[in-house]
Amino acid sequence: MRLIFALLIALEVLAAPALADSIPTAVTTDPPPDKDHPAHFIAFGLPTRGVKINAMMYIPGGAGPFPTVILFHGFPGPENNLDLAQAIRRAGWNVLLLRMRGSWGSAGHFTFSHCLEDAQAAVAWLRDPKTAATQPVDPARIVVMGHSMGGWIAGYTAAHDPDLLGAALISAGDWSGDATNQPFKDVAASIEANMGRSTGLTVLGNTTAAELADELKRKGRSWGLDRYTSALARHPLLMVTAADPLQDYDDAISAAVEAQPGAKVTHVHFDTNHGYNDHRIALAAALINWLATLPGAPH
C-alpha cells in the first residue's frame, strides 16, 4: 500500500503556521500590470537527449531578469499544480513546467531515469546563455520544486547540483523502500494501478508497468534520498508533508538533512491528503513565504 501512494503520490525548522498562516499578497491579488513588460507565458519544446519535451514557462511582469522555479509533476502527473505556478509567478518568479519524456504528449519514452535526465536538461536550458539572451532568466537563481514523484526529482536534482538556489519537496516519493523490497509482481501491480489506464488515461506512451518495475528493482536503492542527505544540506531545503503514507519517509529525510552541519531545513506539515486538496492556499502561501527567504529573491 505504501508503494502505491509513493508512486502517486545554521538548522532551522519551522512549524506550518510560521509559513502558511501569513498569506502573501501574491496568493490572492494580481500585481499592477506592466504595459512595457507584461506578464506572459511561453510554450515550447525543451531539448533533452535528442528529443524535445513539452514545456511552458510563466513569466512575471517587469523587465527582469527573474529567478526561476522549476516545478516537477508527479506520477503520472494529472495534478498540474498550476495554481501554485500562477501564485509563484505573481510573487516575481519565472515558473518552468515540463511534461517528462514520453508523458502527456511529450516525445520520447517514459522511464524514471529519463525523468532525472529531463530535470537536468531543464536546469541546463535555464543556464544556457542563448536562453538568457531571449528570455528574462537569471541563470544563477534557480530553485527546483516538485510534488510526489516531482518531489523526489527535485531532491535528487538538488543533491547532484550544488549551484541551485534551493529545493522544495512536497510529499516527496520514496523510490528506495518498498520498490526494492517487495516482490516484482507486487511492484508492477502497484505501478499499473497508478498509471491510470484502468480509468482510461493514456498518458505514458508505450511504457509498461513491468518495464518501470524492473527499473525500480534495479536502480531504486541508489535513487533513495536517504543516500544524499549531506548533499541536500548544501541548499536551503523546504520539506512539506501531509497526513499520507509518505509522511514517515519524508520526516526521516528531513531529520537526516537537519542533522548535517550547516543545514537549513524548513519543515511544514499540513493535516490533509496527498493532493493537499483542501489546503491549496495554505500550500501556496508556505511555498512563497519560503521562497522569499532565499538570497536573491524578488521583493
Q: Domain boundaries in the chain?
A: 2-291
- What confidence category does residue 71 fall into, taking pLDDT thresholds of 50, 70 and 90? very high
Helical H segments across the chain, by residue range: 2-7, 16-20, 25-28, 82-90, 112-127, 129-134, 149-159, 178-181, 184-195, 209-223, 229-232, 247-258, 280-291
The dihedral formed by the CA atoms of 179, 196, 201 and 102, expressed in degrees to the nearest 10: -10
CATH code of domain 2-291: 3.40.50.1820
Q: Which run of H or E residues covers position 201?
A: none
How much is the pLDDT for 197?
A: 81
How much is the pLDDT for 264?
A: 97
**End-to-end distance of the chain based on CA atoms, in angstroms?**
43
How much is the pLDDT for 7?
A: 43
How much is the pLDDT for 199?
A: 83
**pLDDT at residue 2 greater than cutoff 70:** no
Average pLDDT score over residue span 228-249: 96
ω into residue 76 within 30 of 0, thus cis?
Answer: yes
The dihedral formed by the CA atoms of 212, 218, 222 and 225, expressed in degrees to the nearest 10: 30
CB 287 within 8 A of CB 22: no
Cα 6 to Cα 182: distance, rounded to the nearest angstrom: 13
How much is the pLDDT for 20?
A: 63
Burial class (CB in 10 A: 0-12, 13-18, 19+), 64: middle
**pLDDT at residue 12 greater than cutoff 60:** no
**pLDDT at residue 140 greater than cutoff 80:** yes
Cell output for 189 = 501491480
Cα 152 to Cα 144: distance, rounded to the nearest angstrom: 11
- What confidence category does residue 179 fall into, taking pLDDT thresholds of 50, 70 and 90? low
Average pLDDT score over residue span 23-49: 96
How much is the pLDDT for 42?
A: 98
How much is the pLDDT for 227?
A: 94
Cα 173 to Cα 257: distance, rounded to the nearest angstrom: 16
| Mean predicted lDDT score pLDDT of the chain | 91
The pTM is what?
Answer: 0.93
Average pLDDT score over residue span 38-55: 97
Query: Who contacts 17 (Cβ-Cβ below 8 Å, separation ≥6)?
Result: none
In the numeric block, the cell 535555464 is attached to 126
How much is the pLDDT for 182?
A: 84
- What confidence category does residue 200 fall into, taking pLDDT thresholds of 50, 70 and 90? confident
Centre a 10 Å sphere on the Cβ of residue 40 and count the other Cβ atoms it contains: 11
Is pLDDT larger for residue 192 or for residue 137?
137
- What confidence category does residue 16 fall into, taking pLDDT thresholds of 50, 70 and 90? very low
How much is the pLDDT for 195?
A: 86
How much is the pLDDT for 41?
A: 96
The sheet carrying 166-170 orders its strands as 40-48, 51-59, 94-98, 66-72, 137-147, 166-170, 236-242, 264-270
Of 6-15, 196-205, 230-239, highest mean pLDDT: 230-239
Helix (H, G, I), strand (E, B) or coil at 100: coil
